[in-house]
Amino acid sequence: MSERIVVVGAAVLDAGRLLAARRSAPPELAGRWELPGGKAEPGETPEQALVRELREELGVEAETLARVPGEWPLRPPYVLQVWTARLLPVSGAPSPLQDHDALRWLTPEELWDVNWLDQDVPAVREVVAWWGEGGSPSPTRGAGLR
């Protein structure tokens, strides 16, 4: 059995909103929305990978808060794991720098207005359920995403 490769996704939550990123590449994924993130490099923890990916893709500094329960299969050997994260105040606003052409902060009412990548849908549902149960230690937890 081959070793699995972890792809990390960031559930960046702020004031009851979830950050979504629209893919610009590769062509087969362009125009679809996802939780920002990417592959963990060899020797990198998933948390380190998430911080690095947010810096590369969105130009922000962030810290991971907690892993969202669950793991979602992607094409073998990849699996998606999601962490809640918060942007650090020194970051400023995120910008779509790499592999994305737009970002959107989604309120609970807008959450399903975007065309999520198929593989992100179950992860987003779990984030919403977990967030609604107060699973994140984020200071904005009370705002909820139901």
DSSP 141: G
Model pLDDT, residue 133: 59
Cα angle: 61, vertex 129, 144; to 5 degrees: 60
Model pLDDT, residue 56: 95
Residue 73: phi, psi to the nearest 5? -70, 140
Handedness of CA 109, 84, 68, 9 (dihedral sign): positive
Residues of the chain with pLDDT under 70: 1-2, 133-146
Element (H, E) at 87: strand 78-87
CATH number of the domain at 5-136, please? 3.90.79.10
